[in-house]
Amino acid sequence: MHDPQAAAEAAAHPVPIMSPAPEVETEEEAAQREAEHEQRMAEYKAEQERKEEERKAEFERQQKEYEAEQARRDKQRKARVATLERIVEQAPASFSPAQLRVFLRLLIRLDYSFLEEIANHFANGDENSQQSDDEIVLAALDGTADEKLTGLALRLVLSDHVGIPHESEPDFLAEAEQAFAPKNPKVVKAKTDCSNKPKPTAAKVTSKKETTRKKAA
């Protein structure tokens, strides 16, 4: 396989070639010429090894960055799938006007192949199913209880938005989350000031001697 980068590198830094012998050359001059060539070859090999180490280190760095990015995106996608399931689970029996507007915006943005993801969900990932996507989703509709119909409707319009959107695209899943299943903010309990509590007063204890004097009187 032709590597343009390697070819350009070889053209820029060719392998040293021993200088041709002159017509008249003594043994000492021949030995010196050979020694100079060996020196150039040693320097060339050392430079090639250094560049190879740099290329290897750069490849490993890029590979680690790629793996880290893939892990980050995988974690983000799992979180988005969990968000979809939470929206479907918390779907109201009927939509408020604000929720209906969000639903219609999602409906307008439906892709022609939106049933594929939903059918795969209801088929439990069975790629050998003989039913079409329409048949699988229609069967799921027939088996959905009345109070769960809005959840199915939200799954229909949101399944195509589970993927991580590009920076220039709106995040419709996040918009639906705010409308249908907003996360409850954490309530921080205020610390009570124990110093304001009234201190219990010590009960007066009557000594035995004083009691005895009163009886004698």
pLDDT digits (tens, 9 = 90+) for 191-217: 555 555 555 554 444 444 444 444 444
Residue among 176, 153, 161 at smallest CA distance from 110: 161
What's the CA gap between 175 and 108, in Å, rounded? 14
Q: What is the pLDDT of residues 175-194, one digit of tens each?
A: 999 999 998 765 555 555 55
Within-domain flag for 49 = yes
Within-domain flag for 208 = no
What's the CA gap between 217 and 30, in Å, rounded? 139
Within-domain flag for 9 = no
Q: Which domain holds residue 104?
A: 29-162+171-181
Within-domain flag for 20 = no
Residue 54 pLDDT more than 90? yes
Q: What is the pLDDT of residues 98-108, one digit of tens each?
A: 999 999 888 88
Query: What is the 8-class DSSP label of residue 148?
Result: G
User: Per-residue b/e over 87-104, b at no fewer than 16 CB within 10 Å?
Assistant: bbeebeeebeeebeebbe
Placement of tokens 């980050």 in the chain? 72
Give the list of residues 6+ apart from residue 154 with CB closer than 8 angstroms, or none: 87, 88, 91, 103, 176, 180
Within-domain flag for 2 = no
What's the CA gap between 118 and 133, in Å, rounded? 8
Placement of tokens 């639906």 in the chain? 176
DSSP secondary structure string for all residues of 180-202: H-PPPPPPPPPPP-GGGSPPPPP
Q: How confident is the model at residue 119 (pLDDT cuts 50, 70, 90)?
A: confident
Between 185 and 144, the more confident residue is 144
Residue among 162, 115, 107 at smallest CA distance from 137: 115
The total of structural domains in the chain comes to: 1
Query: What is the 8-class DSSP label of residue 217?
Result: -
Within-domain flag for 11 = no
Give the pLDDT mean for 132-160: 89
For the record, the structure tokens of 196 come out as 């304001």
Within-domain flag for 154 = yes
- Are 140 and 122 spatial neighbours (Cβ–Cβ below 8 Å)? yes
75 CB-contact burial (10 Å; exposed 0-12 / middle 13-18 / buried 19+)? exposed
Residue among 161, 194, 165 at smallest CA distance from 177: 161
Predicted TM-score of the model (pTM): 0.56
Within-domain flag for 191 = no
